């Protein structure tokens, strides 16, 4: 069973600079593109979305993700966003089922991320599209934020896809802040060289580490089955559909 893993950045589906602000037209466009991919090229998909202005704003507001009320609020807002995304997928005929991230992931004392993946595996075998999201998880040490990026990387070690797709709000990885004049899109990014590239976020709140963290997870989770990790612009029409179906799209390819 060949599984496609797609992470959709929170800034693709929300206005990250405005608290709890949804890009509803983008949500439905993306749902439509995924429905086309489901119909024409792949029925085995794991979709993970970030929190955007729903998750990050709540974390900043509460400050401490270890307090019970903070945990409850963050999870509630993330589930609200997740429900909207999952409903949009089903509205376009995609049999999408959401799985609560905090119910199947935890971090042990050694810092290793554990996943109870059997329900996901059974769902995929029934051609169910699995939907997950960045969330609070409970660990041996304490509660913490688990990013959608790390979820995507971790699941790649379990389901062994040949590709991981990261849909962002920029064309890929740049040699500096993409808003600066003269910035250059990098077609190939070596994880070992990430430290020398300026990837600071563009004045947007991101409590999960941004572009650099997205790539550096590969040092921990890279496996021999991966042939491509692609970072591309999910706001461009048909890019998500094309990427899921293996067609070429503009972006940055991450290699060891």
172 is in an annotated binding site: no
Does 192 carry a binding-site annotation?
no
Residue 44 annotated as binding?
no
Per the annotation, does 252 bind a ligand?
no
Residue 102 annotated in ligand binding: no
214 is in an annotated binding site: yes
Tokens 């797609």, residue located: 6
234 is in an annotated binding site: no
111 known ligand binder = no
134 is in an annotated binding site: no
Does 51 count as an annotated binding residue? yes
Binding residues: 7-11, 51-52, 56, 148, 169, 210, 214
Binding residues for substrate: 51, 56, 148
Binding residues for ATP: 7-11, 52, 169, 210, 214
């Amino acid at each position: 069973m060949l599984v496609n893993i797609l992470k959709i950045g929170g800034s693709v589906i929300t206005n990250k600079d405005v608290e709890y602000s949804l890009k509803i037209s983008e949500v439905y466009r993306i749902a439509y593109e995924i429905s086309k991919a489901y119909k024409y090229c792949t029925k085995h998909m794991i979709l993970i979305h970030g929190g955007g202005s729903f998750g990050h704003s709540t974390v900043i507001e509460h400050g401490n993700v270890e307090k019970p009320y903070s945990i409850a609020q963050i999870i509630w807002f993330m589930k609200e966003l997740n429900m909207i995304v999952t409903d949009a997928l089903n509205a376009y005929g995609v049999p999408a089922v959401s799985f609560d991230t905090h119910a199947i992931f935890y971090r042990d004392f050694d810092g290793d991320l554990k996943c109870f993946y059997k329900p996901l595996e059974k769902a995929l075998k029934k051609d169910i599209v699995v939907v997950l999201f960045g969330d609070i998880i409970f660990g041996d040490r304490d509660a913490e934020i688990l990013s959608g990026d790390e979820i995507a990387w971790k699941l790649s070690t379990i389901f062994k896809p040949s590709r991981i797709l990261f849909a962002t709000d920029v064309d890929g990885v740049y040699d500096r802040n993409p808003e600066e004049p003269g910035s250059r899109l990098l077609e190939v990014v070596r994880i070992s060289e990430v430290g020398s590239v300026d990837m600071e976020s563009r004045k947007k709140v991101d409590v999960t580490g941004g572009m650099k963290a997205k790539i550096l997870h590969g040092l921990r989770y890279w496996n021999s089955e991966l042939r491509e990790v692609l970072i591309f612009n999910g706001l461009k029409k048909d890019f998500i559909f094309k990427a899921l179906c293996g067609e070429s799209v503009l972006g940055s390819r991450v290699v060891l």
